[in-house]
């Protein structure tokens, strides 16, 4: 097996999981703009919360190091993987891809022959446009399908490998085959399904995959909304519906709504991509989530009114069990709606670090004090420690899983 020099730009969930995966058989350099993260990686500590990743960093003899962007020489890399964040910008109606363009320009100056793989989520049509604008001849797009806090596991046991290439360029397809084989060689799953396709097709796979997952979240949340509104028990209805093997008993636990790094931005980007193309379902996925958040906020207000209380406690802000991500968290969106109604909200979130504040919200670090001082406690996902205050809990969680 040939050994490659690989640079991974960005030390988030995608970048770190890929870096550790590939460092098993290659020489990997993580390029990260935050000194604290660079230091952690070089000390074999994970800058993100991922149990599998933390274990591999400790136990495996990986060829892995981290540097600041100004210290990276891309001339020393055979392959550069770009895994920088691309947040959805509501002002432009699309992803903010500036970090990709800055990195691509640096690579072009130092090593125009490198294989450049975009792992960041991007708009449909973006890779072809970037290739034309930069002149980089070996650009690929390879989407990721990872779960927060389980990212490395999903890299080691991938459901599929998708690599997009320039279908008009035979050399581009050869690069795609090479990169797919590197991912395959480092995975623990035998015979991983590999899909090589054009840039735009691969970009479409990513957005439609995540929008389908968001749609499934919406479906079971709307089922739960109906059950609550009609005084029905949600759980037996879900279990009978999901007994149909065509539907399946998975990804069906009601929540306050979908959120996190991917689903909110990817659904909105796909909706924008449909401009001029007939559709109603994708827009309905986006609006359904907003409707659910409104419903949950109203239910909380009603329950608070019944208790005669004045303070709502928000138990955890994270989107996924074991995660440290608050971005676009459904419970944060609900909190915003409660605050707009003049409700006092107290937050218990043990993963909050210095400087990670949430506006004017009161942060309670002591769990006992949190339980004592809140009239009603809301939880997107419940935990055993809430059992002591179960008579004051509002949650839609049925199965204590994501």
Q: CA nearest 141: which of 159, 158, 125?
A: 125
How does strand 362-363 pair with strand 115-118? unpaired
The residue written with tokens 């998975």 in the block is 250
Instruction: Retrieve residue 391's tokens.
Output: 């008579």
Dihedrals phi, psi of 225, to nearest 5 degrees? -60, -45
Instruction: Retrieve residue 351's tokens.
Output: 């993963």
Q: CA nearest 374: which of 357, 360, 355, 393?
A: 393
C-alpha count within 13 angstroms, C-beta hemisphere, residue 92 = 12
C-alpha count within 13 angstroms, C-beta hemisphere, residue 70 = 2
Q: CA nearest 119: which of 8, 1, 44?
A: 8
Which helix (H) or strand (E) segment holds residue 151: the answer is helix 151-156
The DSSP code for 389 is G
**Which ranges of 138-169 would DSSP assign to H, the alpha helix?**
151-156
Dihedrals phi, psi of 46, to nearest 5 degrees? -80, 130
Which helix (H) or strand (E) segment holds residue 94: the answer is strand 94-95
Is residue 344 classed as helix, strand or coil in its secondary structure?
A: strand
| Rounded Cα–Cα distance for residues 359 and 335 (Å) | 11
**Residue 83, burial from CB neighbour count under 10 angstroms (0-12, 13-18, 19+):** buried
Q: Which of 175, 262, 346, 374 is catalytic?
A: 262
Q: CA nearest 116: which of 141, 87, 98, 134?
A: 141
| Rounded Cα–Cα distance for residues 311 and 304 (Å) | 8
- Other C-beta atoms lying within 10 Å of the C-beta of residue 217: 25
- Catalytic annotation on 43? no
Contacts of 39 (CB under 8 A, 6+ apart): none
Which residues participate in catalysis according to the annotation? 262
């Amino acid at each position: 097996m040939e050994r490659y020099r690989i640079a991974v730009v960005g030390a988030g969930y995608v970048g770190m999981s890929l870096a550790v995966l590939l460092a098993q058989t290659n020489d990997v350099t993580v390029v990260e703009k935050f000194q604290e993260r660079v230091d952690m990686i070089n000390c074999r500590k994970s800058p993100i919360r991922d149990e599998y990743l933390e274990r591999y960093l400790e136990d495996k003899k990986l060829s892995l190091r981290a540097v600041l962007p100004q210290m990276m020489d891309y001339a020393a890399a055979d392959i550069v993987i770009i895994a920088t964040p691309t947040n959805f910008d509501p002002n432009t109606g699309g992803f903010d891809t500036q970090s990709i363009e800055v990195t691509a320009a640096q690579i072009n100056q130092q090593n125009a022959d490198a294989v450049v793989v975009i792992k960041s989520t991007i708009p449909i049509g973006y890779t072809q446009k970037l290739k034309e604008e930069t002149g980089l001849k070996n650009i690929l797009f390879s989407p990721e399908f990872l779960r927060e806090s389980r990212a490395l596991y999903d890299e080691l046991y991938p459901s599929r490998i998708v690599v997009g290439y320039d279908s008009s360029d035979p050399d581009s397809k050869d690069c795609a085959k090479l990169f797919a084989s590197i991912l395959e060689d480092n995975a623990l799953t035998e015979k991983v399904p590999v899909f090589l396709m054009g840039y735009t097709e691969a970009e479409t796979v990513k957005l439609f995959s995540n929008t389908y997952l968001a749609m499934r979240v919406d479906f079971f949340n709307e089922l739960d909304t109906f059950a609550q509104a009609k005084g029905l028990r949600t759980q037996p209805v879900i279990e009978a519906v999901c007994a149909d093997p065509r539907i399946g008993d998975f990804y069906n636990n009601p929540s306050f709504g979908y959120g996190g790094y991917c689903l909110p931005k990817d659904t909105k980007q796909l909706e924008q991509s449909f401009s001029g193309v007939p559709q109603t379902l994708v827009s309905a996925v986006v609006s359904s989530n907003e409707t659910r958040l409104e419903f949950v906020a109203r239910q909380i207000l009603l329950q608070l009114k019944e208790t005669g209380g004045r303070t709502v406690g928000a138990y955890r802000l994270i989107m996924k069990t074991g995660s440290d991500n608050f971005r676009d968290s459904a419970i944060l969106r609900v909190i915003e709606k409660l605050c707009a109604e003049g409700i006092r909200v107290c937050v218990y979130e043990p993963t909050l670090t210095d400087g990670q504040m949430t506006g004017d919200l009161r942060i309670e670090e002591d769990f006992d004090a949190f339980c004592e001082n809140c009239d009603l406690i809301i939880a997107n996902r419940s935990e055993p420690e809430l059992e002591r205050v179960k008579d004051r809990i509002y949650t839609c969680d049925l199965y204590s899983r994501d």
